Amino acid sequence: MKNLSTIDLERLEKLSRISCSSEEEEDILQSLQKVIEYMELLQEVDTEGDSPTSHVLGPLMQNILRKDVEEKSLSREEFFENVPDVVAGMVKVPPVLKGEE
Amino acid sequence: MDLHLHSAYELHHLFLSGKVSAEEIATHFLQRIEKLDPQLQSFLTVFPEKTLEKAKNLDQRRKKGEPLGKMAAVPVAIKDNMHIKGEITTCASKFLQNYRAPFSATAVRLMEEEDAFVIGKTNLDEFAMGSSNENSAFFSSKNPWDLSCSPGGSSGGSAAAVGGRLSLLATGSDTGGSIRQPASLCGVYGFKPTYGRVSRYGLVAFGSSLDQIGPIGTSCLDCAMMMETIGAFCKRDATSLNLPQESYLEDLPKDLKGKVIGVPWNFLELLGENELKRFKETIEKFKSLGATIEEVDLRLLKYSIAVYYILATAEASTNLARFDGIRFGQRSKEAKNLQEVYDLSRKEGFGREVKKRIMLGTYVLSSGFKHAYYQKAQKVRTLIIQAFEKAFESCDFIAIPTTVKSAFTLSSIADPLEMYLQDIFTISANLAGLPALSMPCGFDEENRPLGVQLLGPQLHDVQVLQNGYAFENAYPEFRKVSPLFSKEAL
Predicted pLDDT at B487: 86
For residue A94, pLDDT over 90 is answered with no
Q: Mark out the alpha helices in B93-190 (DSSP H runs).
A: 106-113, 156-163, 180-185
Assess B356–A contact: CB distance below 8 Å, yes or no: yes
d(CA B18, CA B16): 5
pLDDT digits (tens, 9 = 90+) for B20-62: 999 999 999 999 999 999 999 999 999 999 999 999 999 999 9
Cα Dmax for chain A: 59
- List all residues of chain B from 184 to 203 with a beta carbon under 8 Å from chain A: 195-196
pLDDT digits (tens, 9 = 90+) for B380-416: 999 999 999 999 999 999 999 999 999 999 999 999 8
Residue A5 Cα, gap to closest chain B Cα (Å): 14
pLDDT digits (tens, 9 = 90+) for B430-483: 999 999 999 999 999 999 999 999 999 999 999 999 999 999 999 999 999 999
Assess B10–A contact: CB distance below 8 Å, yes or no: no
**For B306, which residue in chain A has the nearest alpha carbon?**
A39
d(CA B187, CA B198): 24
CB atoms A54 and B382 under 8 Å? no
- Strand partners of residue B399: B454
CB atoms A18 and B355 under 8 Å? yes
- Residues of A whose CB is below 8 A from B383: 45, 47, 50
Choose, from B21, B42, B79, B136, the residue flagged as catalytic: B79
- Bond prior to B150 in cis (omega within 30° of 0): no
Looking at residue A49, what DSSP letter applies? T
Q: Enumerate helices (H) and strands (E) in chain A, giving the number of each.
A: 3, 2
d(CA B212, CA B105): 13
pLDDT digits (tens, 9 = 90+) for B161-204: 999 999 999 999 999 999 999 999 999 999 999 999 999 999 99
Question: Could you give the domains of chain B?
Answer: 3-262+392-489 (3.90.1300.10)
| Confidence label for A3 from pLDDT (cuts 50, 70 and 90) | very low
Spatial CA neighbour of B194 closest among A56, A62, A52: A56
Rg, Å, chain B Cα set: 21
How many CB atoms within 10 Å of residue B142? 27
A84-96 average pLDDT score: 90
CA torsion through residues B73, B77, B81, B84, sign: positive
Q: State which H helix or E strand residue B467 sits in.
A: helix B461-474
The pTM (predicted TM-score) of the whole model is 0.96
Q: State which H helix or E strand residue B349 sits in.
A: helix B338-349
B106-120 average pLDDT score: 98
